[in-house]
Amino acid sequence: MLPATFPLNAWYAAAYDVEVGRSLLGRRICGIPMAFYRRTDGSAAALEDACWHRLLPLSLGRVEGDEVVCGYHGLVFNADGRCTHMPSQETINPSACVRAFPLVERHRFVWVWPGDPALADPALVPDLHWNDDPAWAGDGKLISVKCDYRLVVDNLMDLTHETFVHGSSIGNRAVAEAPFVATHGERSATVTRWMEDIEPPPFWAGQIRHARGYGGRVDRWQIIRFEAPCTVVIDVGVAPAGSGAPQGERSAGVNGQVLNTITPETATSCHYFWAFARNYSLGEQRLTHELREGVAGIFREDEKVLEAQQRAIDEHPGYRFYNLNIDAGAMWARRLIDRLIEAEGAARPVIPPRAA
């Protein structure tokens, strides 16, 4: 058996809120096929996506009231996973049930807890409040990437790669050579990089000119905050050089939050949810649209690199990776993930092939 690459006792983004409705959505989370739907009161529910009877994915069936009807023989399951109807049969086998997963809806995401339900504390949902805070405007996407979710975390924890992967938009030599500071806490790690008094890269030059009418040199920041196991918020922006941003006075600048949460689908594939929220030009739909597609273009460049990297890793089993100075943030993220996995240890919640 391969070593675990993700903890089970954690909240994972399973879907954007609008993806879950009155028809069933099938999606694999941490290796477990799940079926998502909303009840008549609008609340979302998650069941294991395999009928107790013949294993047909319940997501091929339909929602009836607050329950799910299997698309093969019509067994009905409620949101707790208990079978409430069997065809041509009065008595229902008491073992007839499928797993139901703890679920919380917050910050425009549906979060699911694949591990021990007793530990599913909603207070542990990662903070992505910018995603539905009226002081911020933005939009995002879900992309499917064929790599270990940790490679995406590595990628986000070191923005040196912007220079080489995204040279045409947000990257320039200033990023690759700027010094940074890496710190960490119990479940989080932070990498802070200030580039003071620089020429802004094309993307930020356009934003600050558009929003503030400013065209000169800037102080630029990137504050990357990782929250284990798989959420990364990047506080990014520029302000006029010398206007006090490094000291906390950002009002003359423009500020964005790149929200990322990357849910393992399997050990080598993931659902990557991201959004870009900004605190300027809030009412401009056109800008929202433009930024969303612009960021999507940047992430497609990452996707290509990440999938190539995964294929190379698959080909070099046991390869011991070398770390550079720039990897400090990623090393801390990996260590925090490893700790969560180890903490589950022998008590790691078993995912039985079937719940019964």
Longest dimension (CA), the chain: 77
Could you give the strand order of the β-sheet that contains 231-240, starting from the edge strand earlier in sequence? 137-145, 269-278, 254-266, 231-240, 218-227, 188-198, 181-184
Classify residue 42 by burial, with Cβ atoms within 10 Å: 0-12, 13-18, 19+. exposed
Q: Copy the structure tokens of residue 174.
A: 């200033």
Nearest residue (CB) to a second copy, 119 versus 355: 355
Closest approach of a second copy to the CB of residue 350, in Å: 14
Least distance from C-beta 319 to a second copy, angstroms? Answer: 6
- Write out the binding residues for a second copy, residues 291-330 only, by CB under 8 A: 304-305, 308-309, 312-313, 315-319, 321-322, 324-326
Q: Residue 82, interface with a second copy (CB under 8 A)?
A: no
Nearest to 224 by CA among 233, 216, 237: 233
Q: Which DSSP string do the residues of 277-343 spell out, in sequence order?
A: EESSSTT-HHHHHHHHHHHHHHHHHHHHHHHHHHHHHHHSTTPPPP--GGGHHHHHHHHHHHHHHHH
Q: Which is nearer to a second copy, 169 or 309 (CB)?
A: 309
Q: Which of residues 158-177 bind a second copy (CB under 8 A)?
A: 158, 160-161, 163-165, 176-177
The number of residues that bind a second copy (CB under 8 A) is 53
Q: Enumerate residues 1-60 that contact a second copy by CB under 8 A.
A: 33, 50, 52-57, 60
Residue 192 sits in the site that holds a second copy (CB under 8 A)? no
Task: Tell me: does residue 93 bind a second copy (CB under 8 A).
Answer: yes
**Interacting residues toward a second copy by CB under 8 A:** 33, 50, 52-57, 60-61, 69-74, 86-89, 93, 95-96, 154, 158, 160-161, 163-165, 176-180, 304-305, 308-309, 312-313, 315-319, 321-322, 324-326, 353-354
